Structure 1
Amino acid sequence: MKNKSVGIREVAQHAGVSTASISRALNSPESVSPALRLKVDAAIAALGYIPDAAARALSSRRTRTIGAIIPTVDNAMFARGIEALQRYLSLQGYLLLLATSGYDPEVEFRQAQNMVSRGVDGLILRGDTHTEGLRRLLATQRMPFVNVGVYHPDKPYASIGADNEDAAWRATRYLIGLGHTRIAMVAAMSAHNDRASARVAGVRRALKEQGLPLPDDWYYEVHYRLDDARQAARALMARPERPTAVVCGNDVLAYGVLLEVERHGLQVPGDISVMGFDDLEWSRHLRPSLTTMHLPTDEVWTRAGEHLVKQLSGQPCVMHHEVDATLVVRESTAPPRADA
């Protein structure tokens, strides 16, 4: 009950500033000096004041809420990105509203409708595989949004991410440079996932340029689960002629391949080299540690938040930003054995 009795006038009196200054600090923190923000924050903390979000939304026509729709929370990369985004938005005085789509564009559309109806100021979407209904909704509502995880400078809307096809091409070129000519792939499901399909395209392009095949029985698409990746690796191990290297669509799939190769009594990288994608924290702690493509996840999601905050405050912002995907060479890759 005490919090409800404290109003903006009491906060202004405690901080020794006007109520207008308190209002600016709460509604547009970027427009006031750091010293004033600290003074206001101290007064709010001392009095236990909780701003009335509904009143602020009515006066500013902003809820200071950003919506983010991701495919799933069962993915370490998404969890890490959302954590970085929330950390940034909190510092800017914004609330993050999160929803999942299960890689289903129709579900993503319905979640976006729900968020827009609740007054979010902007949306962060994963990838660029959206329904026409969602695209119309964003256009008619003039909703600021940004696609993360992809880099599409030819599109008229914002994107922040890596060139996934080029990154996969470089990863495969590295294996070819080591001397591998029998290269398989365990990919993530590409349906409604333009990041996964771009990585597949990059692998195929690198192989085609060198006149190397990717036979159907050396290519598997699996869900983001260790068991599924192990099953794909088990099928590869059962082939009369095994590949000498496997490119994986992400690090979790690579972990499954590593486990199954070991279970078959084979050596990594002596018998089979394994390449990951994402550079999760565990990748450097495994034995053998995983060679992979590093993606700066924290940077991608933080920049997405920065883009929307700047756009909403009328500041100039770059429409497209490409982050670097870098090859991290560790212990899981080596030249193929001479007898292979």
Structure 2
Amino acid sequence: MVTIKDIAREAGVSISTVSFAFNGTAPVAPETKARIMEVIKRLNYQPNSAARGLVTRKTNTVCLFTPHPATDFFSFSGNNNFNDLLQGIGEVLDHKDYNLLLAWDSLGHKTKTPKLVKLMRERAMDGVLICLPEHDFQTIEELTEQNFPVVIVGSNSQANRVNSVDVDNYEISYKNTRHLLGLGHRRIAFISPGPLNYLVCEDRYEGFKDAMEEAGLRLRDDYLYIGDEKEQSGYKAAERFLTLKEPPTALVAGRDAQAVGVIDYARAHGVSVPSDLAIVSFENSAAAVKYGISSATTNLYEIGKEGARLMLKLLGRKKDRAPQNVVIPSELVVRESCGGHADALKDDAAAAAD
């Protein structure tokens, strides 16, 4: 194996000069640098990444920190949305020769020193993308106090405090609900995509709630169901809602998988969608196309790409700047499940403006 000592001897320079030329950590005369790089290429020198990291204080690794994959809200298996997020992040980082580290805390495991803080202190990563945080911001605050690069992907609840990339989940849910209201529905139920302590779930519920209250409608506890990422949670939600003495005529599903579960229940029990029950959802996934579900785009691929790009910006900056909050555009794609049509969105937007 060729070492840095071999390069230095062959080029007739010191080891530190080779390091300066290769890593760009100090100026080297152009002709000397050219000679060193020629030797590196000729001898096919491959630097030791660990040793290089000691010199540059960089790992060329970004961590994606996610919820534990066994929660009621999140799993890796069969989760196409997470795959889209991962692909967007990976494409950008790979183009800049960065590695991606995937990490999470053990389910329900609370330690004195959280894993992210340990990874920072051990210099295992140069920055962290945090996916779908809960309300506990203590760890994020500890990282930012140390000026450690942090980007939250999938939430903008810390806008103006922490760098973030997301769709506006509150606004999407508000518009989804307004769309159903515009179609004449007043008994509208809501299926949360997960526990409300997850910020994306809270944002979507708050958007629903505010739209209902602005319409002068009372929120009903029996019209709220806390679901998860599985179709079965939509099936169970429909079973609860549609056996009520006064069932809803419409619902906002927190994710497309839940909407599919609702449709499966409706088909099995002779409930017509959308005549008896209108449905709008989030994600605009392949399932939404297959089942004819009206669904708002929440492009996790673009969120991943923009999150990674923002992280690379942070890693390349020499001076601190105000946090940047990127919002990915979204639209409701209207299909058969709500009984409406695209023009209804324009009419609703005009009414809201008035």
Give the structure-1-normalised TM-score.
0.80
> What is the Cα deviation at residue 144 of structure 1?
0.8
Q: Call closer, same or farther: CA 1:232–1:102 in 2, change over 3 Å.
A: farther
2:81 counterpart of 1:77: yes
Selected match of 1:135 from 123, 136, 140: 140
Q: How does 1:88-103 map to 2 (within 5 A)?
A: 88-101=92-105
> What is the Cα deviation at residue 230 of structure 1?
1.1
Q: Any idea what the Cα deviations from partners look like across 1:176-233, whole Å, max 9, x if unmatched?
A: 1111111111112334301101100111111111112332112111222222221111
Selected match of 2:180 from 161, 175, 180: 175
Deviation larger for 200-209 or 78-87? 78-87
Q: Contact conserved, 1:105 with 1:129, CA < 8 A, in 2?
A: no
> What is the Cα deviation at residue 131 of structure 1?
3.2
Q: How does 1:1-340 map to 2 (within 5 A)?
A: 5-7=1-3, 23-24=22-23, 50-71=46-67, 72=69, 73-74=75-76, 75-101=79-105, 106=110, 110-119=114-123, 120-129=125-134, 131=136, 133-152=138-157, 154-284=159-289, 286-287=290-291, 289-314=292-317, 319-334=324-339
> What is the Cα deviation at residue 127 of structure 1?
3.7
Q: Call closer, same or farther: CA 1:51–1:178 in 2, change over 3 Å.
A: farther
> What is the Cα deviation at residue 109 of structure 1?
7.0
For CA contacts below 8 A with separation 6 or more, give which structure has more relative contact order.
2
Q: Call closer, same or farther: CA 1:200–1:131 in 2, change over 3 Å.
A: closer
AA partner of residue 86 (structure 1): G
Deviation larger for 217-226 or 170-179? 217-226
Q: Distance in 1 between matches of 2:113 and 2:259?
A: 32
SS of aligned partner of 1:211: coil
AA partner of residue 181 (structure 2): I
SS of aligned partner of 1:277: strand
Q: Call closer, same or farther: CA 1:234–1:108 in 2, change over 3 Å.
A: farther
What count of residue pairs does the alignment treat as equivalent? Answer: 314
Q: Call closer, same or farther: CA 1:154–1:100 in 2, change over 3 Å.
A: closer
Q: Call closer, same or farther: CA 1:191–1:106 in 2, change over 3 Å.
A: farther
> What is the Cα deviation at residue 78 of structure 1?
2.1
Q: Distance in 1 between matches of 2:210 and 2:267?
A: 29
Q: Distance in 1 between matches of 2:275 and 2:192?
A: 22
> What is the Cα deviation at residue 21 of structure 1?
9.4
AA partner of residue 59 (structure 2): T
Q: Contact conserved, 2:249 with 2:276, CA < 8 A, in 1?
A: yes
Q: Contact conserved, 2:195 with 2:201, CA < 8 A, in 1?
A: yes
Q: Call closer, same or farther: CA 1:104–1:326 in 2, change over 3 Å.
A: farther
Q: Call closer, same or farther: CA 1:214–1:261 in 2, change over 3 Å.
A: farther
Q: Contact conserved, 1:152 with 1:320, CA < 8 A, in 2?
A: no
Q: Call closer, same or farther: CA 1:105–1:282 in 2, change over 3 Å.
A: farther
Q: Which structure 2 segments of 5+ residues have no match?
A: 9-16, 26-33, 70-74, 341-354
Q: Distance in 1 between matches of 2:106 and 2:192?
A: 17
Q: Any idea what the Cα deviations from partners look like across 1:14-62, whole Å, max 9, x if unmatched?
A: xxxx96798249x9xxxxxxxx9xx99xx69x95x65411012011100
Q: Contact conserved, 1:250 with 1:278, CA < 8 A, in 2?
A: yes
Q: Any idea what the Cα deviations from partners look like across 1:243-284, whole Å, max 9, x if unmatched?
A: 111101111211211111111122222221111112223221
AA partner of residue 86 (structure 2): I
SS of aligned partner of 2:282: coil
Give the structure-2-normalised TM-score.
0.77
Deviation larger for 304-313 or 152-161? 152-161
Q: Which structure 1 segments of 5+ residues have no match?
A: 13-17, 28-35, 336-340
Q: Distance in 2 between matches of 1:108 and 1:245?
A: 46
Deviation larger for 154-163 or 240-249? 154-163
Q: Distance in 2 between matches of 1:189 and 1:100?
A: 18
SS of aligned partner of 1:325: coil
Q: Contact conserved, 1:66 with 1:96, CA < 8 A, in 2?
A: yes
SS of aligned partner of 2:260: helix
Q: Contact conserved, 1:69 with 1:108, CA < 8 A, in 2?
A: no
AA partner of residue 129 (structure 2): I
SS of aligned partner of 2:58: coil
